[in-house]
Structure 1
Amino acid sequence: MDNTTRFILDIMNAEEEEHQTRMRMSATYLHNQRERVNSISYHGGSTMNHRVIDRNREEGHARLYRDYFSNTPSYRDTEFRRKFRMRESFFMRIEKAVTAHDNYFTQPTDAMEIRGMSSLQKVTAAFRMLAYGTTADAVDDYVRIGESTTIEILRRFFKSIVEVFGSEYLRCPNTEDVSRLLAENGQ
């Protein structure tokens, strides 16, 4: 193996190790946030004289899909990884797991046959807040979701992540895990 190939493999291994570390840190953060969120009381229901904003959610989904998830996306893999802080395949694994775990993340259709927010919009909103540390109302411009809905999405996302991935990522590594990680990183 020449030096260039070895150098590229070393970079790829370092990125994967960094990714695994971030996942463990994120899982711990999500667990702590879940504990905090569960202790907060939320008001639910309609508010009198509340102005309803037509956010054109279907166009928001279409734009998101076209930009990142179509067969010919506007943004390539490198941009996806930079903006979401993970690979698309990993994002889709989490999106599928969360959607399968909690029906809240499936796209509803109302009595007028108007579709609600897609699972991609909901999971993207949660990840944007986590990746950039933004406020709930900051994701409205692109993802087309209001502040209170984004907070509910994030709360349910935390809960689902802990319930689905908690046993895998929120535990201390055992001897087998340490051996596997050392072998994967060539140590």
Structure 2
Amino acid sequence: MTHANLMNNYFDPNSVYIEEDFRRRFWMGSHVFERLPCDVQQVNPYFRQKRNRAGRPSFSPHQKVTVALRMMAYGSPTDSIDETHGMSESTCLDILQEFCDTIVQLYKDEYLREPNQENLNRLLRKAEDRGFPGMILSLDCMHWDWKNCPTEWQ
């Protein structure tokens, strides 16, 4: 039932929520999200939907990816995941560990690498266009005067 609700809310053609809602809740577009369940289950059998000993379907790849992303993006505790997705604490933690390991394995060469000069130039141009010149070496903004910086309020 939780899989059906998830699909009805976000992924079916006439879903309850629109793309803007999806982007706000998942911090990415639905087209980016849709790649994840496909990619992770090709590399890691843990994400493929199987049947449990009672013959019922286990959690779907969409459910597992959703739980992992919610735990990372919002710091959702496993208790709240249990309430909304019906997953035990140990299952949530297993999913998160498998997801992180799989994402690193899948995307490290493309996304989890040091930028080359072309990437650096592109990022510097973007930052400068937004009013933050030279921000590559201070992504935490520690070298930028910011009158509303939370550490300045203390």
Partners of 1:135 and 1:158 lie apart in 2 by 17
Which is bigger in relative contact order (C-alpha 8 A, separation at least 6)?
A: 1
Counterparts of 1:100 and 1:186, CA distance in 2: 39
Q: Tell me the distance in 2 between the aligned counterparts of 1:93 and 1:150.
A: 21
For residues 186 and 99 of structure 1, do their structure 2 counterparts lie closer, same or farther at Cα, with a shift above 3 Å needed?
A: farther
Tell me which of 84, 95, 98 is aligned to 1:142.
Answer: 84
Local SS of the residue matching 2:115: coil
| Structure 1 gaps, min length 5 | 1-58
CA shift, 1:180, in A, is: 4.4
**Helix, strand or coil at the partner of 2:98:** helix
- Cα distance, 1:91 vs structure 2: 0.9
Distance across 1 between alignment mates of 2:76 and 2:111:
24
**Gap change, CA 1:111 and 1:147, over 3 Å in 2:** closer
Task: Give, in whole Å, the separation in 1 of the partners of 2:73 and 2:6.
Answer: 17
Instruction: Give the CA RMSD over aligned residues.
Output: 2.0
State the TM-score, normalized to the length of structure 1. Answer: 0.63
After the TM superposition, which parts of structure 1 deviate over 2 Å for at least 4 consecutive aligned residues?
110-113, 178-187
Greater helix share, structure number: 1
Q: How much identity, in percent, do the aligned residues show?
A: 37
Gaps of 5+ in 2: 130-154
TM-score between the two structures when normalised by the length of structure 2? 0.76
> What is the number of equivalent residue pairs in this alignment?
129
Q: Are the equivalent residues in 2 in contact too, given 1:124–1:143 (CA < 8 A)?
A: no
